[in-house]
Amino acid sequence: MAPPSSQEISEPETQFIELPDDDVNLWDAVEIVAELGNKFKVKWDGIDPGTGKPWQDSWVLKHDATDDLVAAWREKHPRSSTSMLTCYSQLIEYY
């Protein structure tokens, strides 16, 4: 039997950790839009009632992203294809 692929195994830094209050503190995410260090930038679903606009993308720790979001990100953006320019522009935007 062949070993599971890397898509099927979460790395410890990206493994989602369930908590007892998840039903209150989790929000619907559309997709991961960037990766930097130990964080993902997430595009959120829904509209901010205060502004009437979509929720602003925000950075979250990798272990706060669900496995399905991470798998979709990894499929679109294999680690080897990340260029230094992309990393630099994300770093500038982060700070």
Q: To the nearest whole number, what is the mean pLDDT of the chain? A: 76
Res. 64: pLDDT tops 70? yes
The mean pLDDT value for 43-70 works out to 92
**Looking at the 3D structure of the chain, how many domains does it have?**
1
**pLDDT tens, position by position, 6-26:** 444 445 555 666 667 656 566
Asked whether residue 54 is domain-assigned, the answer is yes
pTM for this prediction: 0.62
71 in a domain, yes or no?
Answer: yes
Q: Determine, yes or no, domain membership for 23.
A: no
Is residue 71 within 8 A of residue 7, CB to CB? The reply is yes
Kindly state whether residue 21 falls inside one of the protein's structural domains: no
Domain limits at 76?
Answer: 28-94
Instruction: Please indicate, yes or no, if residue 57 is contained in any of the structural domains.
Output: yes
